[in-house]
Structure 1
Amino acid sequence: MVVRDYNTELTYIERISANSFRIKKGFQPNMNVEGIFYANSRLEKLMFDELRNSCRPGMTGGFLPGVKQIANVAALPGIVGRSVGLPDIHSGYGFAIGNMAAFDMSDPTSIVSPGGVGFDINCGVRLLRTNLFEKDVKP
């Protein structure tokens, strides 16, 4: 596990819009893709408070902040695109709660994880499957 002070950790996180943040490769070892998370002001405070608290002296092992978990998912074999923290993101159990990722199934090293954390109430986020293709909905 990489141990850095809070200000150094912040150099790996970049605000890209009012409600989105990029987690740069290198934040956690072996990241294959960047991470991104979406948060309103209250959730933003929670995410950064988790990170700040984890950087306090003596805070090793056990709890891992949501941004670290998003970065760890970005290091999984076969991940494509980005490791994404949806607007319900918070620290979980390996995968952050609200963490989403896609994997290249043609890559024999890829993982299959139908539910990174579980199949509970989804914290208000829903999935809708259609038979539409990108070309059908692209402006």
Structure 2
Amino acid sequence: MRWTESDIAIYEKEREYVDTAVLPLIPISMTSSVKTTVSMGEYISIISGELERQLKGRLLLMPAFTYLQTENSESRVERLKQVEEELYQGGIKHIITLSADVEWKQSEAQLSSALLWMPAIPLEHMDEQYKMETVSAQVKQVLQFVTNTWQSNTNS
């Protein structure tokens, strides 16, 4: 389910079955490494969208959590923790954060969400079929991560 009026209407009826939120972490920069920054965000958006499509009805794809590349890590972590808290208070049991920015790995222990870091694969010069195969292979790994997150939180 996506962050749209129609999907949220369904979510409100089916809330007991939708216990997971996926939160893409998307960097913004117009001053340095713009193309790399955009590539990271685009890649995570594609993976997140495909994950939502495959698990529709079980998870809610949240709007991207955006942050400036130049923002200090303490500030971005504090802002993300506020979002996590809002989601948990709203009944979400599992939060999966997806990022292509390796800097999030350094803050992982401070987060209550399950962080999945994936290096961005440049998709711009791939032909469409190879691009879809690549994304599909990545989504399979993400699905395994989500399933493991559900199982580990069930067994805790």
Shorter-chain TM-score category?
A: under 0.3
Q: TM-score, normalised on structure 1?
A: 0.28
Q: Structure 1 or 2: larger helix share?
A: 2
**Which structure would you say has the larger RCO, counting Cα contacts within 8 Å and 6 or more residues apart?**
2
